[in-house]
Amino acid sequence: MKKFDHGQEHRDDGMVLIQTNLDDMNPEYCPYITDRLLEKGANDVYWIPILMKKGRPGLMLNVLTDGLLLSEIETVIFEETTTLGLRYMPVSCSRLGRNFEKVSTPWGAITVKTGYKAGKLVHFAPEHEDCAKAAREHGIPIKQVYEYVRAIYISQKSL
């Protein structure tokens, strides 16, 4: 399997979506499990609230990973959750080229993540952690930081 520079637009084949439904696990474990899976190399981890048989509330764990990491990811899921089995779906992922740029603000530099399709800018977003840090340190609403950074970025790029 060819590995790609994630800064470049590409398609990842050989990816796997792993799913399991859980109705007997403390949901407070979810953030910890998510962190462990990401540390092992999972590309994405998300939880969906579901209703299971007999109307029991539960969670569906979804993990997107490279097929080469299945063994490590499975180990974390089986060790950290109450599941007895997993579902696997092969998937391909199309990814935009990515870049990170800094925008100067009255609260310090904020990183903006950009996405490119065929060399054209098609998406940009201020980095949440930078915005949250600025908001906390300066006692301002995070939405004010986001809106300011987006406006400055747009004006600089003449979008």
Q: Please check whether residues 114 and 85 belong to one and the same domain.
A: no
Q: Specify whether the CB–CB gap between 98 and 115 falls below 8 A.
A: yes
Q: How confident is the model at residue 13 (pLDDT cuts 50, 70, 90)?
A: confident
Give the pLDDT confidence score for residue 2 in this predicted structure: 46
Q: Please check whether residues 61 and 19 belong to one and the same domain.
A: yes
Q: Please check whether residues 17 and 85 belong to one and the same domain.
A: yes
Q: Please check whether residues 70 and 129 belong to one and the same domain.
A: no
Q: How confident is the model at residue 123 (pLDDT cuts 50, 70, 90)?
A: very high
Structural domain ending residue among the three candidates 45, 68, 95: 95
Q: Give the residue-averaged pLDDT of 135-142.
A: 97
Structural domain ending residue among the three candidates 95, 118, 138: 95
pLDDT of residue 3 exceeding 60? no
CATH number reported for the structural domain that contains residue 132 in this entry = 3.10.20.300
In whole angstroms, give the CA distance from residue 57 to residue 83.
15
Q: Is the pTM of this model over 0.85?
A: no
Q: Which domain holds residue 45?
A: 10-95
Q: Please check whether residues 82 and 127 belong to one and the same domain.
A: no
Q: Give the residue-averaged pLDDT of 105-126.
A: 94
Q: At what angle do helices 30-39 and 70-80 cross, to 10 degrees?
A: 160
